Homo-oligomer: A and B are copies of this chain.
Amino acid sequence: MKFERLAVIGCGLMGGSFALALKQAGLVTHVAGFSASESTRQKALDLGVIDAACGSAAQAVDGADLVLLAVPVGATEEALRSIAPHLANNALLMDVGSTKSDVVAAARAALGERLPCFVPAHPIAGKEKAGVEHAEAALYQACITILTPLPENTLSQISKAQQIWEAVGSHVHTMSAQQHDTTFAAVSHLPHLLAFAYMQGLAAQHDGAQHVSFAGPGFRDFSRIAASDPAIWRDILLSNRAEVLTQVAHFKQALSAFESALHDKDTAALNRMVTLASDLRSRWHPRSKRAAP
């Protein structure tokens, strides 16, 4: 498996890392990149992440046999519309979006007869630092990548997609877009929302900045994801809003139970709830490490 021309639409952390990883794996000859910002395109070129900086998404996609869309999910439909007429019939098109139902709907609306080219993908990787300057070939090593194939995809396309993600070190799982969105609302989108709300709640306090200056390692890890890229996360939360709001409701119910126990000085109830939470978290191990050889 080798691709002549990879087009990366959105040369940020995710797109840039994909380009570097495919180069390192020897899977691609030439990488054409497009980003809306000219300075980002130039930076990606200067860093050797892409081989050619294109003036439009259409130009990047022309002649590409592999296309990766790596833009904030809110920009998906517009980006797909702009590349659809230029997409080769046999090209493989993937995205890296953190939500899937919305992305699939955008693809159905935008891609027309090129819909079968598109195998939706979500690599569970990232850092709180965005931008092509943080891109690295190892970003997808030992991470999970979820594929949510369309009924229109051919088995050969799906298998090609799987092989690519495995070639960059990722463990591939397949599920429906709906199941993906429910799962990641629970284990990713809600934690981000809670971390954002936590920081917002601190910022609203007169002494918030003073408090934060004494924070230790618990705060550091708990709030790390609050430093994530705002545009990316605004889009993810909006894109998966129904599932996210369902998860918020589950969380608020649990929080109320803790509040009541504190109000009532109910040591037994508090003990039970903290123990259950601690046990569940202690038993958790990342799937990617479990699955690793």
Q: Are A215 and B284 in contact (CB under 8 A)?
A: yes
Stretch with Cβ within 8 A of B (4 or more), from A31-39, A56-64, A267-275:
A267-275
Within 8 Å by CB of A188, from B195, B210, B216, lies B216
Q: Which residues of B contact A223 (CB under 8 A)?
A: 191, 281, 284
Do B237 and A270 touch across chains, with their CB atoms under 8 A apart? yes
List chain B residues, Cβ under 8 A from A247.
Answer: 201
Interface membership of A153, Cβ < 8 A: no
Of residues 142 through 192 on chain A, the ones whose CB sits less than 8 Å from some CB of chain B are 143-144, 146, 173, 182-184, 186-188, 190-192
What residues of B have a CB within 8 angstroms of the CB of A207 in the complex? 182-183, 186
| A75 interfacial contact with B, CB 8 Å | no
Interface readout for A1-20 with B: 1 if CB under 8 Å, 0 if not?
Answer: 00000000000000000000
Partner-binding segment picked from A76-84, A103-111, A112-120, A255-263: A255-263
When distances are taken between beta carbons in the complex, the residues of chain B under 8 Å from A277 are 195-200, 203, 226
Contact residue range for chain A?
35 or more
Contact B278 A215 (CB under 8 A): no
Given contacts A222-B222, A278-B229, contact A234 B271 (CB under 8 A): yes
Interface string of A274-286 (1 = CB under 8 A from B): 1111101110101
A186 to B215 Cα, complex, angstroms:
9
**CB-CB < 8 A to A211: which residues of B?**
182-183, 186-187
Bound-complex Cα distance A255 to B198 (A): 8
Given contacts A238-B270, A259-B248, contact A125 B194 (CB under 8 A): no
Tell me the smallest distance from the CB of A210 to a CB of chain B, in Å.
Answer: 7
Q: List 12 A-B contacts (CB under 8 A).
A: A126-B218, A182-B207, A191-B222, A192-B218, A195-B277, A200-B257, A212-B284, A215-B286, A216-B286, A216-B288, A227-B282, A237-B274
**In the complex, which residue of chain B has the Cβ closest to the Cβ of A222?**
B191
B186 pairs with A208, CB closer than 8 A: yes
Considering residues A201, A227, A273, which has the most beta carbons from chain B within 10 angstroms of its beta carbon?
A201
